């Protein structure tokens, strides 16, 4: 039923007019010439409400203005009352319309152009100051009234009233738009801006208000002027949103120190705070843009890393399929060769038959070794720990006369399969690089796995050492033919580790060398 009632257009306009009139009347009760909060309400309504509701806003402002005009008719005269019946919100509509057109004010649904907002605020403040000054001139008051000072207070009141309300509303709008209520409520306690505002901004301003209220003279003014410091700090930390929150709090804090209405020292402090808020909003907008650019670059970098990791994974799958195909082909070739020799056994001498069988076995072993180098069978069947301890590389080193030892600590199975692949390839590449100089007789591989800050990591160390007595017995031809790797050296290790946000360090240790590698699992724990 409520939905059907709200679908009536005239009820929507009536609700907008009534709500605006109520807000205008309430804010007018706490406003005065040099602190016009309802000016911020006007501009917020024009910036955020659809154009179709602008006539309702005119009517909503005309109601309280009509009451004020009639109530003060005897005091200020009919000319002043007639001018007061012109809603100032209508004078600002062309300016706001120009700023909203072609996405000048809101380049995107959740983005605000602070420079356009400040320009709009300045222009409407000038227009409203001119209208208020004209009304004051037409009022039947004492002829020696200082209109220049009054115009200055009107401008300052409208401008700082806008800065007190509008930036904060726009910052809240950006946080709320496109998010469900549950997500918003869950994010409030975790917001650094909210926490720092409560724990640092408000206590600092409360202390300055207390100092300004408890002393007199220059100390009071110094305390008021110092209220810009929290604004500057928040803007440097959080961009223009921090300046919006700090500016609102600082503007209210200055008013709390005002001893009497139109106090000259308070007006000076307000002018300084208005200048500070304007400057910090412009600076904060630039800082926010830099933060957004940095965030976008991080996101692009993560997407590039994710794509590279995906390509590595697909490449390993292709190698696995090729390894399967070679293994099946090896069995098929062996069966065909055996069948062929069986049929030709009566035609071949015994020595030739044994030679052919030996050649077939060698060919099958070479194909098996090739398939194992592409994708180790031990790794495929029993996982990474078995491949590092008992796979083709440990067997090749042991058969070639090189002492090999592998030490694994931590839960390796918690790492993703892509990290398993990367660790095995890095170990193969590092061992191949260590053996390429042919001055190694001992190799030790150490693997450590852990978790910190919600991310799993792995540290792989390959230590090589030399025992010259054993080195003389190493069969390098067998070792080098069995080891895999690209042979591209340390650069290949760094490139492969960089895909997983890792780092490589190589250094000399006594008579040997150490290559240590750190990798991060792309999957969050």
Report the distance separating Cα 160 and Cα 50, nearest Å.
Answer: 25
36: helix, coil or strand?
coil
Range with the lowest mean pLDDT among 20-29, 87-96, 219-228, 466-475? 466-475
Does a structural domain hold residue 389?
Answer: yes
Does a structural domain hold residue 283?
Answer: no
The fraction of the chain above a pLDDT of 70, given in percent, is 88
Range with the lowest mean pLDDT among 41-55, 171-185, 188-202, 337-351? 337-351
Domain boundary residue, one of 118, 145, 172? 145
The fraction of the chain above a pLDDT of 90, given in percent, is 30
Give me 148's structure tokens. 């220049």
471: helix, coil or strand?
helix
Q: What is the DSSP letter of 197?
A: I
Does a structural domain hold residue 501?
Answer: yes
Given a contact cutoff of 8 angstroms between Cβ atoms, the answer to whether 309 and 499 are in contact is: yes
Given a contact cutoff of 8 angstroms between Cβ atoms, the answer to whether 200 and 274 are in contact is: no
Q: What is the mean pLDDT of residues 314-319?
A: 73
Radius of gyration over every alpha carbon of the chain, rounded to an integer in angstroms: 39
Residue 344 CA: distances (Å) to CA of 129, 144, 331, 357: 112, 131, 20, 12
Model pTM score: 0.70
pLDDT digits (tens, 9 = 90+) for 203-254: 999 999 988 886 656 778 888 888 999 889 999 888 899 999 999 999 999 9
pLDDT digits (tens, 9 = 90+) for 50-66: 999 999 999 999 999 99
Ramachandran quadrant class, 102 (left: phi over 0; alpha: psi -120 to 50; beta: rest): left
Report the domain count for the chain: 2
pLDDT for 359 beyond 80 = no
Does a structural domain hold residue 420?
Answer: yes
Average pLDDT, the chain: 84
Does a structural domain hold residue 195?
Answer: no
Which residues are bridge partners to 459 per DSSP?
448, 518
pLDDT for 118 beyond 50 = yes
Q: What is the pLDDT of residue 162?
A: 96
- CA-based nearest residue to 440, from 400, 413, 406: 400
Q: Tell me which residue range forms the domain holding 16.
A: 1-145
pLDDT for 360 beyond 90 = no
Domain boundary residue, one of 99, 126, 145? 145
- CA-based nearest residue to 371, from 475, 479, 480, 484: 484
pLDDT class of 97 with cuts at 50, 70, 90: very high
pLDDT digits (tens, 9 = 90+) for 403-431: 888 898 888 888 888 888 888 888 888 88
Does a structural domain hold residue 242?
Answer: no
Does a structural domain hold residue 97?
Answer: yes
Give me 280's structure tokens. 């910090």
Q: What is the pLDDT of residue 1?
A: 47
pLDDT for 369 beyond 50 = yes
Residue 395 CA: distances (Å) to CA of 297, 512, 516: 45, 22, 23
The H-assigned helical ranges of 34-87 are 37-48, 54-71, 73-76, 78-84
Does a structural domain hold residue 259?
Answer: no
Q: What is the DSSP letter of 34?
A: T
Give me the CATH number covering residue 394. Answer: 3.30.565.10
Give me 241's structure tokens. 């949103």
Indicate the helix (H) or strand (E) that contains 234.
helix 228-238
Give me 500's structure tokens. 């997983």
Q: What is the pLDDT of residue 275?
A: 94
Report the distance separating Cα 525 and Cα 523, nearest Å.
Answer: 6
Given a contact cutoff of 8 angstroms between Cβ atoms, the answer to whether 39 and 158 are in contact is: yes
Q: What spatial distance separates the first Cα and last Cα of the chain, rounded to whole Å?
A: 48
pLDDT digits (tens, 9 = 90+) for 119-138: 999 999 999 999 999 988 88
Given a contact cutoff of 8 angstroms between Cβ atoms, the answer to whether 141 and 76 are in contact is: yes
Domain boundary residue, one of 145, 178, 195? 145
Count of Cβ atoms closer than 10 Å to residue 155 Cβ = 22
pLDDT digits (tens, 9 = 90+) for 426-472: 888 888 888 888 888 899 999 999 888 778 899 999 998 888 878 88
Q: What is the DSSP letter of 201?
A: I
């Amino acid at each position: 039923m409520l939905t059907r009632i709200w679908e009536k257009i005239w009820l929507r306009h009536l609700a907008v007019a009534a709500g605006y009139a109520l807000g205008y009347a309430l804010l007018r009760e706490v406003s005065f010439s040099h602190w016009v909060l309802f000016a911020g309400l006007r501009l917020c309504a024009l910036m955020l409400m659809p154009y179709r509701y602008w006539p309702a806003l005119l009517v909503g402002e005309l109601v309280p203005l009509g009451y004020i005009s009639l109530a003060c008719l005897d005091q200020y005269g009919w000319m002043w009352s007639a001018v007061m019946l012109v809603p100032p919100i209508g004078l600002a509509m062309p300016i706001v319309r120009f700023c909203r057109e072609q996405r000048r004010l809101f380049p995107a649904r959740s983005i605000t152009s602070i420079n356009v907002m400040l320009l709009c605020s300045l222009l409407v403040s000038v227009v409203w100051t001119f209208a208020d000054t004209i009304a004051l001139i037409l009022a039947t008051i004492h002829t020696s009234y200082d209109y220049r000072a009054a115009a200055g207070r009107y401008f300052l009141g409208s401008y700082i009233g806008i800065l007190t309300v509008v930036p904060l509303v726009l910052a809240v709008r950006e946080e709320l738009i496109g998010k469900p209520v549950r997500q918003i409520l869950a994010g409030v306690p975790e917001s650094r801006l909210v926490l720092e505002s409560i724990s640092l901004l408000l206590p600092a301003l409360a202390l300055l208000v207390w100092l300004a209220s408890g002393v007199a003279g220059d100390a009071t003014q110094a305390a008021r002027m110092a209220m810009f410091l929290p604004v500057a700090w928040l803007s440097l930390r959080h961009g223009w949103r921090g300046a919006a929150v700090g500016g609102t709090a600082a503007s209210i804090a200055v008013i709390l120190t005002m001893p009497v209405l139109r106090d000259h020292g308070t007006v000076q402090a307000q002018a300084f705070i208005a200048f500070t808020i304007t400057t910090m909003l412009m600076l904060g907008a630039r800082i926010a843009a830099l933060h957004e650019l940095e965030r976008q670059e991080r996101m692009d970098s993560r997407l590039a890393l994710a794509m590279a990791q995906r390509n590595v994974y697909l490449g390993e799958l292709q190698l696995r399929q090729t390894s399967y195909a070679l293994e099946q082909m090896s069995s098929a070739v062996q069966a065909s060769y055996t069948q062929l020799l069986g049929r030709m056994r009566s035609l071949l001498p015994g020595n030739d038959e044994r030679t052919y069988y030996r050649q077939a076995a060698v060919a099958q072993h070479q194909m098996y070794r090739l398939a194992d180098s592409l994708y180790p069978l031990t790794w495929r069947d029993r996982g990474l720990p078995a491949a590092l301890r008992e796979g083709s590389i440990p067997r090749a080193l042991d058969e070639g006369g090189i002492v090999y030892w592998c030490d694994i600590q931590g839960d390796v199975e918690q790492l993703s399969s892509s990290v398993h692949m990367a660790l095995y390839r890095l170990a193969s590449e590092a061992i191949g690089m260590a053996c390429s100089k042919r001055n190694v007789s001992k190799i030790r591989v150490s693997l450590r796995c852990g978790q910190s800050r919600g991310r799993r990591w792995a540290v792989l160390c390959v230590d090589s050492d030399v025992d010259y007595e054993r080195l003389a017995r190493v069969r390098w031809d067998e070792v080098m033919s069995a080891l895999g790797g690209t042979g591209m050296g340390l650069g290949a290790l760094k490139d492969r580790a960089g895909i997983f946000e890792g780092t490589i360090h190589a250094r000399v240790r006594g008579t040997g060398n150490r290559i240590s590698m750190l990798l991060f699992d792309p999957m969050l724990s």
